[in-house]
Amino acid sequence: MVSRVWSLMRFLIKGTVAGGVVYLVYDQQLLGPSDKSHAALQKAEEVVPPAMYQFSQYVCEQTGLKIPQLPAPPKFNFNIRESWNSGIITVMSALSVAPSKACEYTKEGWEYLKERIK
């Protein structure tokens, strides 16, 4: 009986987290234009580190543990839009060439087999 209740609780917790993530993605329009996604990433980079620090301080006060201070994360000059676009272009070009390459490789395979059988 306890295992069923625990399984139900795990399911509800996971469902709540997944629902929250879907709502957050929809609310912040992360799957929309890349400008809005980039702005959301910038906002997260500004908000998350102080929030994590405050949470760690709270945990230290409540538990009496001392958590060592972590070094600041490195700053990256990385343009997400450029890398996303180049990745999409690479994937789409590979998909557009795939049928002709498959046909070419099939012909080469048959020729190889014919030579080996002779």
**Residue pLDDT, tens place only, 24-43:** 888 877 777 777 777 877 88
Per-residue pLDDT band at 82 (split at 50, 70, 90): low
pTM for this one?
0.37
Span 39-77, pLDDT tens digits: 877 888 888 888 888 888 888 888 887 877 777 777 777
- CA 118 to chain centroid: 51
Which helix (H) or strand (E) segment holds residue 109: the answer is helix 80-117
Give the separation between CA 100 and CA 44, rounded to whole angstroms: 43
Closest CA to 24 of 9, 44, 7: 44
